[in-house]
Amino acid sequence: MNFTRLCALVRKEMQEIIRDRLYLLLAFLLPVALLVEFGYGMTDDIELVNLAIIDQDHSAASREYAQRLFSTRHFRRVAAPEPADMERALSDGSARAVLWIGSGFERDLTKGRTVDVQVLIDGAFTGAARTINGYLEGMNAQINMEMRSAIQARQGMAAPVPVPLQAVRLQPRFLYNPELRSIVVNAPSLIMLVLMLVPPLLIAVSIVREKETGSIYNIASSTVTRLEFLLGKLLPVVAITMINAVLLWLTISFYFGVECRGSLLQLAFAILLYVLATSGLGLMVSAAVRTQLAAIFITTMTAIIVSTQFSGLFAPLDTAEMSNQFIAKLFPAGYFLPMVRGIYLKGADLSVFWPELLALFIYALVVLWIAHTLFHKRTHS
């Protein structure tokens, strides 16, 4: 390897990047834009969900129960459908959830029996459905206890089950603070997603552009080695991405207000290895394809599918199916996510993650080797 040539390649790359406004925008605006966009987009918070209540008991207790549900900003009451039309109300979107209070609600409540209230939730958006269910269950538990003790007090009977005083006072806002929770958990995870997407994209665009214009022949017809060329593309992108990592950290800390609990230096080291691995993936794709369109499509689709489905972003990997666990092992996101979560959220020390670090390091070497094997200076077409 010749360092004069490598420096020439890196220098030219930097000059081009700095002068190409579109590329510059792509390089520095896209990561933060993605972070902010996904940061809001992925929040589990829900407000004013359309809720219908079918009350067949028509009692004071059932009316009060319903009223309590709508005392928060989470639910908005919509007209109750006929019991036979419950499902249609959900499918046509007029309600996201339907509660059915059967007759005998107050009677059973008074007698201290368990009351069954049927709930039907729109399951099209699994995440939102789960959240709605959580809200309802939580509120139901709280209201239930309040109402039961109120009724028992009215009737002068001793409470069949001792009810802790504190539970009654629980504020739903406390228990169900989804906005805060989702951003805290998600923001560091988004570093994984953004850095899975952007570096391969930048690399692929810059290599395949040279293939399209024919300037790749300057390299192919010269004595530049394949490794020099690949490193000449890799290093500027890694440098840009590390600057981006700082921008991401600033955005998460100051815009979203989530501070890093672990060591920033350790975080930077983990990010560096991760970026080397994801950029290497970009090199691999660029070596194989011929048009920018194909390069952009492949890197973007891979990044989005891998980082959302096979990284442990929404569900922990160790509970996933074996096949999914295997796929996750093929991409760097799954190794990086526990590290970034651990360091950022829990203040974990990097030494805990040495298997992941080692995996990423080997990963980076392997993809670089594959790219080197796939890239040729003398091609067949």
Residues in contact with other proteins by the rule CB under 8 A: 2, 4-5, 7-9, 11-12, 15-16, 19-20, 213-215, 217-224, 376-381
- Amino acid identity at 291: T
Where residue 156 falls (left for φ over 0; alpha for ψ -120 to 50; beta otherwise) is: left
**Minimum CB separation from other proteins for residue 87, in Å?**
48
Which residue, 97, 99, 101, 98, is CA-closest to 62?
101
Structure tokens at 60: 């004071």
Nearer to other proteins (CB atom), residue 2 or residue 56: 2
**Minimum CB separation from other proteins for residue 370, in Å?**
17
Nearer to other proteins (CB atom), residue 7 or residue 124: 7
Which residue, 135, 136, 142, is CA-closest to 117?
136
Nearer to other proteins (CB atom), residue 18 or residue 124: 18
**Minimum CB separation from other proteins for residue 210, in Å?**
9
Nearer to other proteins (CB atom), residue 222 or residue 291: 222
Asked whether the beta carbons of 187 and 39 are under 8 A apart, the reply is: yes
Asked whether the beta carbons of 161 and 144 are under 8 A apart, the reply is: no
**Minimum CB separation from other proteins for residue 5, in Å?**
6
Asked whether the beta carbons of 327 and 302 are under 8 A apart, the reply is: no
**Minimum CB separation from other proteins for residue 26, in Å?**
14
Edge-to-edge strand list for the sheet holding 75-78: 75-78, 49-55, 97-101, 117-121
Strands 49-55 and 75-78: parallel
For the chain, what is the radius of gyration of the CA atoms?
Answer: 28
Nearer to other proteins (CB atom), residue 22 or residue 265: 22
**Minimum CB separation from other proteins for residue 216, in Å?**
8
**Minimum CB separation from other proteins for residue 238, in Å?**
21
The enclosing H or E element of 224 equals none
Task: Provide the β-strand partners of residue 145.
Answer: none
